[in-house]
Each structure stands twice: as structure tokens, then as C-alpha cells.
Amino acid sequence: MIGVMGAGAFGTALAVSLALGGRDVVLWARDGDAVARMRNDRVNPRLPGVTLPDTLTVTDDFDTLSGDFPVLLAVPMQKLRDAIRSQHAILDARPLVACCKGIELATGHGPSQVIAQELPGATPALLTGPSFAADIARGLPTALTLACAEGPCAEELQTALSAPNLRLYRTEDVVGAETGGAMKNVIAIACGAAIGAGYGESARAAVMTRGYAEMVRLAVARGAQPGTLAGLSGFGDLALTCTSTQSRNYAFGISIGEGAKFDPNITVEGAATARAVAKASRALGVEMPITQVVVALIDGKVDMETALGMLLSRPLKEE
């Protein structure tokens, strides 16, 4: 049995993939009306065109997740703490796999730290890497990173969460994996802004490359291994998120570059993460000019021309 907390597009996609892979899966959603519709129609409106398998149980009763089986936490990063705190009795003392990407704005902590603080008896893990919900749900091949500091549990989770279309690579460097997953959203906003403003593909490549350097600097300062960022959770996720309009963060960046409005109902994890990372980088003494520019753009403190000038006028140095 595998539980999934959160019936957004990504949580549902993972639940569908695992159910089709032969697992019994319970997908929990807070909205009872939405659960009733999914039960009747076997479709989640957030993932159109995908039929929910019969082996996938949809419920709004959290007690259904009681047990010792793994639970995937597919909730937004900024809502993770409150979500798991409200279900402390059921979620503690079991493997919990965060499927969100970001840094908590209030504390500067990643998902694994939030889990450890709120549920000290649980085993925190992280599922991250280059992936779109629609691809996973359609059965398209996807490779992800499973990060867990406890080796034996990591191996069990790797087996339990693999599916015909999902190949998982494991690492014990949780900090590195979660930093890559968080930072790629920030850099995607910057890349989208460059494209939206008409600066071209070469500018985007430059932003991606220098953004990757910022990602590695931050990860190492937080205690990660630099090689982790060269894998799926870092470079791989960066490449996907900075080049596809399926990425909400990249699309948000494009709207900034174009000076257009963006749907406020769409969650953009990179916005809050950029602010959290800018704050953390100052405390750690890490230089992160692209992140700082992204924050200034999001807050409306600079326009694109000024932002470009801020980056191009930086002192010349070795790469």
C-alpha cells in the first residue's frame, strides 16, 4: 500500500503511475465534493484526459492513510508544515516522501527539515527531478531522484515507488537534492523573463549556466555534495524547467518579461523560494546575483532593462 496526500496534478499523476504499476494506492484530497466527482467520473479535472485506475482509491477520510506504509506528501512547499502538523498522529513514525520543491519562506528550511521538526518519529525522504505531471500520468518514461539519509529505508522506498515508466535513482544527500529542486524554480523564472523580454536563446543559456553556479554554491554552503547537483535533482530538473512552457515558474517568468498579467490562482513555488533563498544566502555569505534580481523583478522594484543592467555590469572575473 502507498498513500498520497494531496490530489493536485502531480500527486494524482504519481498515484496513477504507481497504481498502474501494480500498487494499491490511496489518494487523499481535502475537498469532499471533488473526491465524490473523482470517484464517479474516474477523472481529476486537474489532470484532464487521464483515467484513474480501479486500484486507486480516492478519499477525503485521512484515517484511510493509517498504517506503516509510505505516504507521499504532494502538497505545496509553503503549506507542507501546516498540512503534516494537522495529521501528526497518523503521519508520525513512518516513511514520508516530500514531493514538493522549494524552501520554506518563514524558516529557510527544505521539506526534509520541516518533516523532521514536525514529525520526529518519521523517516523523511524526497522525490524530485525533471518531471511533469502530464508525462508521468500518460506513462511516459521519467527518471527521478529519491533522496533519503537512511540507506535501508531508501532502498525499500526505491523499490516501492518504482513503476514501469518511473526509474528512481537514490542518494543520501537530501540537502543537495532539495536545494536543486528549489533553486531550479528560481532560475526558471529568470530564464522565462529573459525569453519574455525578447533577449533570446543565448541569454537564456547564460542565465541557466550562471544560475546553475548559484545553485551549487548555495547547496555546498548548506552542507551538500556538489556532485549531487550534476544529477537529476539539479542539472536535469534545471534543463527541463528552464525550457518548457509546461513549467509554471518558466511561464511566470515569461509573463514578467512581457509585462503581462499572470493567473494568481496558479501556484508558483519559485516566487516564495526566491525570497527565502535570498534571505538564506545573505546569512550564509553566498553570492547569488540572479536570485536577487528575480526577487527584485517579482516585487516590482526593477524593470527588465534595469535587471539586465544589474547583471551585465557586475565585475569581470574568471568563470
Please check whether residue 187 lies inside any domain of the structure: yes
Domain end (from 172, 203, 221): 172
Q: Are residues 22 and 130 in the same domain?
A: yes
Q: Are residues 15 and 155 in the same domain?
A: yes
Give me the residue label for grid cell 502531480.
10
Residue 273 · residue 186 · CB < 8 Å: yes
Per-residue confidence (pLDDT) for residue 316, from 0 to 100 = 67
Residue 279 · residue 108 · CB < 8 Å: yes
Per-residue confidence (pLDDT) for residue 267, from 0 to 100 = 87
Q: Are residues 15 and 144 in the same domain?
A: yes
Q: Are residues 81 and 194 in the same domain?
A: no
Q: Are residues 143 and 17 in the same domain?
A: yes
Per-residue confidence (pLDDT) for residue 146, from 0 to 100 = 98
Residue 107's identity, in one-letter code, is T
Q: Are residues 151 and 225 in the same domain?
A: no
Closest C-alpha to 209, from 185, 239, 173: 239
Task: Return phi, psi of residue 59, to 5°.
Answer: -150, 155
Per-residue confidence (pLDDT) for residue 319, from 0 to 100 = 78
Residue 106 · residue 213 · CB < 8 Å: no
CATH of the domain at 116: 3.40.50.720
Please check whether residue 297 lies inside any domain of the structure: yes
Residues whose CB falls within 8 Å of the CB of residue 215, separated by 6 or more in sequence, listed in order: 179, 180, 183, 184, 187, 229, 234, 238
Please check whether residue 45 lies inside any domain of the structure: yes
Please check whether residue 318 lies inside any domain of the structure: no
Please check whether residue 319 lies inside any domain of the structure: no
- The three grid cell numbers given for residue 86, joined into one nine-digit string: 494537522
Q: Are residues 105 and 242 in the same domain?
A: no
Please check whether residue 317 lies inside any domain of the structure: no
Residue 242 · residue 191 · CB < 8 Å: yes
Residue 3: enclosing H or E segment and its boundaries?
A: strand 2-5
Give residue 56's region: left, alpha or beta (phi > 0; psi -120 to 50).
beta
Please check whether residue 267 lies inside any domain of the structure: yes
Per-residue confidence (pLDDT) for residue 208, from 0 to 100 = 97
Q: Are residues 105 and 222 in the same domain?
A: no
Domain end (from 143, 172, 201): 172
- Give me the domain span that covers residue 19: 2-172
Asked whether the CA dihedral 234, 235, 236, 237 is positive or negative, the reply is: positive
Per-residue confidence (pLDDT) for residue 310, from 0 to 100 = 87
Instruction: Tell me the pLDDT of the chain (319 aa) as tens digits.
Output: 999 999 999 999 999 999 999 999 999 999 999 999 999 999 999 999 999 999 999 999 999 999 999 999 999 999 999 999 999 999 999 999 999 999 999 999 999 999 999 999 999 999 999 999 999 999 999 999 999 999 999 999 999 999 999 999 999 999 999 999 999 999 999 999 999 999 999 999 999 999 999 999 999 999 999 999 999 999 999 999 999 999 999 999 999 999 999 999 888 999 999 999 999 999 999 999 999 999 999 999 999 999 988 888 777 677 7
Query: What residues act catalytically?
Result: 184
C-alpha 52/C-alpha 39 separation (Å) is: 9
| CB-based burial label for 138 (10 Å; 0-12, 13-18, 19+) | middle
Give me the residue label for grid cell 540572479.
290
Q: Are residues 9 and 148 in the same domain?
A: yes
Per-residue confidence (pLDDT) for residue 133, from 0 to 100 = 96
Domain count along the chain? 2
Residue 79 · residue 105 · CB < 8 Å: no
